[in-house]
Amino acid sequence: MEVRINKYLSEAGVCSRREADRLIEAGKVMIDGKSAITGSKVTDGQVIKVNGTTVTKEEELILLAFNKPVGVVCTTTDKQGKNNIVDYIGYEKRIYPVGRLDKDSQGLILMTNDGDIMNKILKSVNGHEKEYVVEVDKSVTEEFIHKMSNGIYLEALDRKTDQCFVKKEGKFSFRIILTQGLNRQIRRMSESLGYKVTRLERIRIMNIKLAGIPLGQYRKVSDEEYRILCSML
């Protein structure tokens, strides 16, 4: 069956569809020795190369839950050196991060070789939950919780955040569950209310939890977790 080249590269675990389109436009993707063009379709029998390296689809599904430390960057490029999340983990097969967790934050991020799973999870329109525990530099007040939970207009992004669950955890900490994926959303929301985030940890993505994974380590997502994840997608 023929599929678009960007989808093929995504499913093969090379990169996202968007990044595949950029590689194609840059002339770095070849199909049977000829430069690919946007919209090209391919089959499994053809020879696909990216930057001169032949692409093969990995039959085994890989889905890891990784506890990212502060300082590790969620990118597949090598410009960050060992701070690149892929190089940091050093997994034996090609994997890439599902979404992002900014450099100054820590906690759960999923790693996979399955482009379809990645694309489905990243579609925030589906309302997939991500849960965080956050520490700030000032006392968390009821007013702060109320404003955070009811949505805040973020001038830098020119949009208002959706209503969400927010609960006070301690004098300087709170728990928040988001279904959006705006850039540095929690930090921007807090800053708009005069608070500075001092520690941000993601503890859950949908049904996958961080609990039990040491910082800087990963575990394979169980078959049962994967089954539930697919049913939610």
Interacting residues of 92 by C-beta distance below 8 A, sequence separation 6+ = none
Number of separate helices (H) and strands (E) present in the chain: 7, 17
Q: Which of 102, 137, 158, 162 is catalytic?
A: 102
Q: Which two tokens stand for residue 130?
A: 């991500």
Tell me the C-alpha to C-alpha distance, in Å, between residue 105 and each of 44, 124, 134, 148: 39, 20, 10, 19
Q: Which of 217, 163, 164, 171 is nearest to 198 (CA)?
A: 171
Whether 8 contacts 56, CB under 8 Å? no
| 223 is a catalytic site residue | no
Interacting residues of 64 by C-beta distance below 8 A, sequence separation 6+ = 89, 91, 95, 110, 111, 112, 218, 219, 220, 221
Residues labelled as active-site residues:
102
